[in-house]
Amino acid sequence: MKKFNGFPARMEFTPVPNLFINSLMPQISDITELKVTLHLLAALYRKRGYPRFVTYDELLGDASLMTDLKQEGEPREVLRHGLDMAIERGTFLQLVLSTKDRPEEVYFLNSEADRQVMTRIQNGEFALSGLKAARPAAETGPEESPNIFTLYEENIGMLTPMIADELREAEKLYPEGWIKDAIGEAVELNKRSWRYISRILERWADEGRGEEKGKRGNRKADRDKYSQQKFGHLFQR
């Protein structure tokens, strides 16, 4: 065994849930399951956007993981073994999507938020970024746009399920460009909160933007209409 030379002064860290260390890890006796679990936790942490997920193809393309698994046998078989055990234990959730080309395996952390997301995906209420899941022909709902979700998480803060719901409702009420510009204005003024962003959108809906400010009367009518909807509190004073 080659002796490790030690950690450098500057390096990156990957958070691991305390519950995994205190509860799950003591139960894991299979080295393959442990390796796959740690690599998958790291891969999920590095992801951005909402929700965070990792595909089977991404795991296959992880050179560090596949090199690590070679010590246990044929890498693909070892990976499958580790994933199956981690899913059976309940550490992760697996979802198989019927994409345009072929089935795609997707993995989530087994958290309350991700369990809710999986249910919405299975019900056809939510589409994952980068994956074109097959949807019923009769469905006419709007396509899910990941751009504002990623923009929010990268510039404002953690994207909780509640904030994600509010962003989806805002998409129905405002042009996508408005939401992006409102996030940009909040960042520029260092007012990084959804409440502040919603106030910007409310003001624009009420007064108009730039050359639209002369149309205040029409905006007032729109505001009255929107105030009756689920997120009408964004338009009421």
Q: Tell me the pLDDT tens digit for each residue of 174-217.
A: 888 899 999 989 989 888 899 999 999 999 988 887 645 444 44
Contact 61, 54 (CB under 8 A): no
Cβ atoms within 10 Å of 216's Cβ, excluding its own: 13
User: What is the predicted pLDDT for the residue at 100?
Assistant: 64
Contact 108, 51 (CB under 8 A): yes
Exposed, middle or buried, 237 (CB in 10 Å: 0-12/13-18/19+)? exposed
User: What is the predicted pLDDT for the residue at 48?
Assistant: 81
Mean pLDDT (the chain) is 80
Domain 27-122 annotated CATH 3.30.70: no
Instruction: Give me the mean pLDDT over the 68-90 stretch.
Output: 93
Phi, psi of 171 (to 5 degrees): -60, -30
User: What is the predicted pLDDT for the residue at 121?
Assistant: 84
Domain ranges of the chain: 27-122, 147-234
C-alpha distance from residue 110 to each of 7, 161, 166, 218, 229 (Å): 31, 15, 23, 47, 33
pTM assigned to the model:
0.56
Q: Report how far residue 227's alpha carbon sits from residue 103's, in angstroms, rounded to the nearest whole number.
A: 42
Model confidence pLDDT, tens digit, residues 38-54: 999 999 998 887 888 99
Beta bridge partners of 109: 92
88 or 231, which is more confident:
88
Tokens of 201: 């959108």
DSSP 3-state of 133:
strand
How big is the CA angle at 25 (ends 21 and 29), to the nearest 5 degrees? 160
DSSP strands (E only) in the chain: 54-55, 92-98, 103-109
103-109 and 54-55 strand pairing: antiparallel
Q: Report how far residue 53's alpha carbon sits from residue 108's, in angstroms, rounded to the nearest whole number.
A: 5
User: What is the predicted pLDDT for the residue at 125?
Assistant: 78
Banded model confidence at residue 163, pLDDT cuts 50, 70, 90: confident
Most confident residue range from 11-20, 80-89, 201-210 = 80-89
Q: Does pLDDT of 227 surpass 80? A: no
Q: Report how far residue 77's alpha carbon sits from residue 80's, in angstroms, rounded to the nearest whole number.
A: 5
Cβ atoms within 10 Å of 37's Cβ, excluding its own: 23
Contact 108, 130 (CB under 8 A): no
* Element holding 89 (H helix, E strand): helix 75-89
